[in-house]
Structure 1
Amino acid sequence: MKRKRIVAFLMASLFVAGTATAQNPVIRDQFSADPTARVFNGKVYVFPSHDIPTPPEKPGRKDWFCMEDYHVFSSENLTEWTDHGMIVSQNKVPWVDSTSYSMWAPDCIGRNGKFYFYFPANTNVAGPNGRKGFGIGVAVADSPEGPYIPQPKQIEGIHGIDPNVLIDKDGQVYIYWSMGNIYVAKLKDNMLELDSEPLVIDNLPAKGLKEGPFTFERNGIYYLTFPHVENNTERLEYAIGNNPMGPFKMTGVIMDESPTDCWTNHQSIIEYNNQWYLFYHHNDYSPNFDKNRSVRIDSLFFNADGTIQKVMPTLRGVGLTKATEQIQIDRYSAKSEGTEIAFLDSANTFAGWKTILPEKGDWIQYNAVDFGSQKYKLLKIRVQSMAETQLLVRLGEQNGEVIAKIDVPAGADWTKIDSPLVSQISGINKLFVSLNGNNPAEIDWIQFEP
């Protein structure tokens, strides 16, 4: 049963026309988690937390979360992400314990030409309640990319983690956070101080950990989304209401528990270019240690009554892949049972993955490749096989038109092969790659050349 769940977990969703490739994970050169996505100035900005390997001076965090700073990323097409660098560090915030490595899930919101970055961290001085523990601070910038200037003090009256800020249609600002329960309070116009007493949000599950609130409004409905440990690991759930402060009614599950037992998940939901997206995380680059995570994106859809359709996590992600790009078919849409996916280099997982076709007839499918209207001459492939074998590339399905036959030579090293196309291609197509020879083959990527 678990094998079937894992296969379902990896199956890809349909593409969304008008967007570009967002193969999962989307941040591919560092660990990233707890993504808050926002749309500013026509771009999508992602403000994640930043998992790092435990430094030698913090041996007590060897098997736990270790996070010392934040980066911000932006994209206009959901595939080409710019890292604008570090924006806040535990070493540069006066009230933060710079040895705690506990800069967890953040948020950012724009108002009146300023951008306010909210983040939790362990305090180095006692807060208003006489405790240290977690506080929530604010850093302010003139642009989403920064530079951000941290305020000298945390927000008075908040003891908790995972801040989330909502600006309602009437201009009132609300801040949500978690610490055992999920809380809400109004913020003053200066975005730096509470304007009401914290309120515990009722009617949420009493059993199991709740954290990471993210709230948004659509068609007059307020959605309170959050990770919740119903059983052993977190799943993404939501409640709805008609007021930002509640009451909320538990409504459903956005994403099921990870079948690969990644203990955490964390979400944000945005609309961009008339499509809704779910940003979340999984431990793709660190399968044996779920405290090093990576940001993913998948499409999200609503039912007519406003309820959210459950999202199936995918490797393929969303959007279209240009035929002239290196197409990472290991981020597949479907595959045969025998087809395997493995790291190119287990010692450097950020090098990515490869597709292994062990037996004749094994196959892998990759959806939504955009060939446009130009003509193509060659299919390029990076491939490896210890013995001579052959690959077939078809359009669409298993019985689709063959567009290339690739004879793979024997060799212990990776090789790049240029194979002439036997048929012209245009428009948007699925690709179906299968092993036609009697010996196994491993594939890194394929690419089309005009």
Structure 2
Amino acid sequence: YWSQGNIYGAKLKENMLELASEPKTLGELPAKGLKEGPFLFERKGVYYLTYPHVANKTERLEYATSTSPLGPFTVKGVIMDESPTGCWTNHHSLVQVKNQWYLFYHHNDLSPKFDKSRSVRIDSLSFAADGSINKVTPTLRGVGLTDAHQKIQLDRYSRISDAGATIAFLDTANKFSGWKTIFTKSNGWIQYNGVAFGKQKPKTLTVRGASVVGATVEIRLNNGTGPLVAKVAIPKGGTWQDIRVPVAAFEPGKHTLIAKATSEAMAEVDWIRFD
């Protein structure tokens, strides 16, 4: 499967090096707008042809299905919408590992002003009962569990409040040094899913934070009104400091974390870690 204006497919010989059939134009796909980067997979006897398509101004991920690997295909819908930040391309693949499907795709996180430099993302993908693909909402969090005893990068969040919280590069001259979370006012919050605490409750929480005038941030479990784990006072001064505070009792295991500002003063957080 490949693209040159349209998307084409052909059967391969046993040696996987030569074509066993003439290339076929998969003409049942949208006629208007660039289509490229096809990726095909089979699930429960259905062939899913997935592809980036410029339906408007930038690429979104769409798919069509067939009972034959070379069609005819029926366009079914959108896997992932256009990027809200305007990244023009989005190339992808899908894979199933241990009964879970994953969508690999790319974005311009590390080069926001130049979307030809791309970095890889991954998110979970699921199917409805009728076999249709549930639309994927991109996250910075991605997939997998994070060890609570390692640095938890809150800026790779699962969800973020509409106001009061944002992220930024730690060093705009060296974007590979990573990001930070910035709380700009009270009640701004970040949600980080999938933190594994193991069987023993941690005793302390370390927060690497900074605030010019001093600020407070609280950490809760599971949701915004869930158990309060720790309340952290970030001293004034504006320089990065590692603040260690005691942790309240809670049942260990796997949890979602909520970090929320409880003061109006601006606060920055690089990472947190349970010990």
Alpha-carbon offset, residue 369 of structure 1: 1.2
Matched, 1:282 2:145: no
Cα distance in 2, alignment partners of residues 300 and 424 from structure 1:
31
Contact (CA 8 Å) 1:376, 1:424: kept in 2 or not? no
Determine helix, strand or coil for the equivalent of 1:186: coil
**Distance in 2 between the 1:380 and 1:321 partners?**
16
Q: Which residue of 1 aligns with 2:257?
A: 431
User: C-alpha distance in 2, partners of 1:425/1:305?
Assistant: 38
Match of 1:400 in 2: 226
- State the SS of the aligned residue for 1:350: helix
1:243-276 deviation line (CA, Å, top 9, x unaligned): 1111111111111111111111111111001101
Q: Does 1:358 align with 2:161?
A: no
Match of 1:376 in 2: 202
Of residues 234, 240, 253, the one that matches 2:65 is 240
Correspondence list, 1:73-92, <5 A: none
The CA distance in 1 between the partners of 2:55 and 2:262, in whole Å, is 46
AA matched with 2:170: L
> 2:4 pairs with 144, 158, 179, which one?
179
Deviation at 1:431, TM superposition (A): 1.4
* Other-structure match for 2:168: 342
Equivalent of 1:197 in 22, 34, 51: 22
1:438 CA drift (Å): 4.2
Once residues 5 and 160 of structure 2 are traced to their aligned partners in structure 1, the CA distance between those partners, rounded to angstroms, is 42
Are the counterparts in 1 of residues 59 and 82 from structure 2 also a CA contact under 8 Å? yes
The Cα RMSD (Å) is: 1.4
SS of corresponding position for 1:187: coil
1:218 aligned to which of 43, 55, 59: 43
Provide Cα deviations, 1:351-397, integer angstroms capped at 9, x if missing partner: 11111112233222212211121131110111111122222222222
- Post-superposition offset of 1:401: 2.0
> 1:262 is matched with which residue?
87
In structure 2, how many angstroms separate the alpha carbons of the residues matched to 1:424 and 1:307? 40
Question: Which AA in structure 1 matches 2:115?
Answer: D
Which deviates the most, 258-267 or 364-373? 364-373
Q: Distance in 2 between matches of 1:387 and 1:414?
A: 13
- Listed one character per residue, the Cα deviations across residues 424-449 of structure 1 (whole Å, up to 9, x for unaligned) are 44011121222223422100010111
Conserved 8 A contact 2:201-2:249: no
Q: How many residues align?
A: 274
Counterpart of 1:429 in structure 2: which amino acid? Answer: H
Q: Tell me the distance in 2 between the aligned counterparts of 1:221 and 1:360.
A: 50
TM-score by length of 1: 0.59
Deviation at 1:197, TM superposition (A): 1.4
Q: Which has the higher contact order (CA 8 A, sep 6+)?
A: 1
CA drift of 1:180 comes to 0.9
**In structure 2, distance between residues paired with 1:272 and 1:345:** 36
Choose the corresponding residue for 1:297, options 106, 122, 130: 122
Q: Which runs of 5+ in 2 are unaligned?
A: none
Output the CA distance in 2 between the equivalents of 1:269 and 1:393.
34
Q: Identity of paired residues, percent?
A: 59
Specify the code of the residue in structure 2 equivalent to 1:297. I
CA distance in 1, matches of 2:73, 2:263: 58
Q: Report if aligned partners of 1:390, 1:435 keep a CA contact under 8 Å in 2.
A: yes
Deviation at 1:232, TM superposition (A): 0.7
Partner Cα separation in structure 2 for residue 326 and residue 279 of structure 1: 24
Q: Which deviates the most, 413-422 or 268-277?
A: 413-422
Aligned equivalents of 1:434 and 1:255: distance in 2?
A: 29
The corresponding residue for 2:274 is 448
SS at match of 2:176: helix
Q: 1:422 — aligned with what?
A: 248
Distance 1:305 1:398 in 2: 34
TM-score (norm 2): 0.95
Runs of 4+ in structure 1 deviating by more than 4 angstroms, as ranges, are none
Whichever residue aligns with residue 393 of structure 1, its letter is: I
Q: What residue is the counterpart of 1:367 in the other structure?
A: 193
Question: 1:302, 1:357 → 2: CA distance?
Answer: 36
CA contact (8 A) 2:33 2:55 kept: yes
In the other structure, the counterpart of 1:207 is: 32
Map 1:48-59 to 2 at 5 A.
none
C-alpha distance in 2 between matches for 1:234 and 1:335: 24
1:294-324 per-position Cα deviation (integer Å, ceiling 9, x unaligned): 1111111111121111111111212322111
For 2:140 and 2:118, how far apart are their aligned partners in 1? 15
1:390 paired with 2:223, answer no
Give the 3-state SS of the residue equivalent to 1:347 in structure 2: coil
Q: Summarize the alignment of residues 6-155 of structure 1 with structure 2, pairs less than 5 Å apart.
A: none
